Amino acid sequence: MAEPLDDYIDAVSKALALPVEEAWRPAVRANLEVSLRLGRMVDEFALPDETEPAPIFTA
C-alpha cells in the first residue's frame, strides 16, 4: 500500500529530474518524515513579518 508521502516523492522526483529507485524509497521517505517533522517545529514558531533570513550568516 502506498504511504502518504509517496505521491509527493514521485511528484518532486519528476519536477527535479531526481531519480528515486524503489529500493531507496523507504529510506528517502523516512528521512523526509524527519525533515518535515523538524521543519514543522520551525514553522510553528511565530516570527514578525519583517524578520530577515540569515543565509549569509554573520556571527
Residue placing its CB nearer to another protein in the complex, 3 or 27? 27
Q: Is 2 in the site for another protein (CB under 8 A)?
A: no
Q: Distances in Å between the alpha carbon of 3 and those of 8, 45, 49?
A: 10, 28, 35
* Cα(33)–Cα(18) distance, integer angstroms: 18
Q: Is 3 in the site for another protein (CB under 8 A)?
A: no
CB 26 within 8 Å of CB 2: no
Q: Is 4 in the site for another protein (CB under 8 A)?
A: no
Chain positions contacting another protein, by CB under 8 A: 8-9, 12-13, 16-21, 24, 27-29, 31-32, 34-36, 38-43, 45, 47, 51-59
